[in-house]
Amino acid sequence: MSLFLFLVLVAVVLGIIGFVTHGLFYLFVIGAVVLAADIVLGAVRLRRGSRKHRLAR
């Protein structure tokens, strides 16, 4: 969970710096890619966790 929150924080910071600073738009793009990867990673972990709990019952 802490990795998920850390990656969200990194994505937001990179996005803000890339959006505000002229000439560093690529940081905004990198922040968006990190955020998308983080959402996918979170969804995969959530889906895996629910299967384990079902089998334990």
- Chain center to CA of 54: 26
Q: Low-confidence residues of the chain, pLDDT below 70?
A: 1, 49-57
Q: What is the pLDDT of residue 51?
A: 58
Could you report the per-residue pLDDT of 27-38, keeping only the tens digit for each? 888 888 888 888
Tokens 């990190």 belong to which residue? 34
Quote the CA–CA distance of 12 and 25 in Å, as a whole number: 13
- Measured CA to CA in angstroms, residue 32 lies from 23, 45, 47, 55 at distances of 17, 20, 23, 35
Q: What is the pLDDT of residue 49?
A: 67
Q: What is the pLDDT of residue 5?
A: 84
